[in-house]
Structure 1
Amino acid sequence: MAKYTIVENDSISEFSPERDKTVKKYIVIREKGTQIEWKNGIGNGNPEYEIIEWIDNCTYRLTYDSSKSELDEGKKWVNDNNGIVVSKTKIENKCLYYTATMTTNDGQKISQDGIICKE
């Protein structure tokens, strides 16, 4: 289950959204500066198209590509707040550990630790 840490002014809180139990896995395909995410396998439903902007060898900014699909309000909000900065924290075997952070225009920092593995 995803857990987000929210830092705002001098307070820290945690938030765990309800998990969509229909999603068993995500398939992520990267090519150069783009990423496509599929829920439960390639060809199932509508993919999410994302743009990757590398900041350095271990950090990139992720935004949603509005030229490839209609963005819902949540994706527009992410883009309007300068996207999500993903920092690699370690690589172990076939897995990448990361911290994803979004700093909103009003100064709120929302972060999540995660792991993504190659099959």
Structure 2
Amino acid sequence: MKKYTITSKDSINEITAERDLSINRYVVIREKNSQTEWKNGIGNGTPTYEILEWIDDCTYRLTYDSSKGEMDEMTKWVNENNGIIISKTKIEGKCLYYNATMTSNDGQKISQDGIICVE
């Protein structure tokens, strides 16, 4: 399950989205300022192409690359709202912990804590 915190003016809400059980893992390939994500391994389905704009050594803005394929409503919405700020919070062993935050054009702040591990 994915847990999101949404802060809007005078309220804070937590939303838990159900996990897509058809996805067992993500494969992420990063090259400098771009990233490609595959659901369930390289060659399965259509990859997602992302642009990384580095803010500092531990923080970057993620947007989706519309020049490499068609975007769905969610990826269009992320780009229209200035992307997602990803901040690395700690590294333990082979795992990186991060916070992802997005502030929508109408002032809502959406955040999620997550973890990425290398196999």
Name the TM-score class by shorter chain: over 0.9
1:77 counterpart SS class: helix
- After superposition, where does 1:35-54 map in structure 2 within 5 Å? 35-54=35-54
2:76 counterpart SS class: helix
Pairwise CA distance, 1:34: 0.4
Matched with 2:10 is: 10
Aligned-partner Cα distance in 1 for 2:32–2:87 = 17
Pairwise CA distance, 1:78: 0.2
2:30 counterpart SS class: strand
Q: TM-score, normalised by structure 1?
A: 0.98
Gaps of 5+ in 2: none
2:77 counterpart SS class: helix
Q: Report the identity percentage.
A: 73
RMSD (CA atoms): 0.6
Matched with 1:68 is: 68
Structure 1's consecutive aligned runs of 4 or more residues displaced over 3 angstroms after TM superposition are none
Tell me the matched-pair count: 119
Aligned-partner Cα distance in 2 for 1:54–1:10 = 31
Matched with 1:56 is: 56
Gaps of 5+ in 1: none
- After superposition, where does 1:1-119 map in structure 2 within 5 Å? 1-119=1-119
1:67 counterpart SS class: helix
Q: TM-score, normalised by structure 2?
A: 0.98
Pairwise CA distance, 1:18: 2.2
Amino acid at match of 2:97: Y
Aligned-partner Cα distance in 1 for 2:112–2:86 = 9
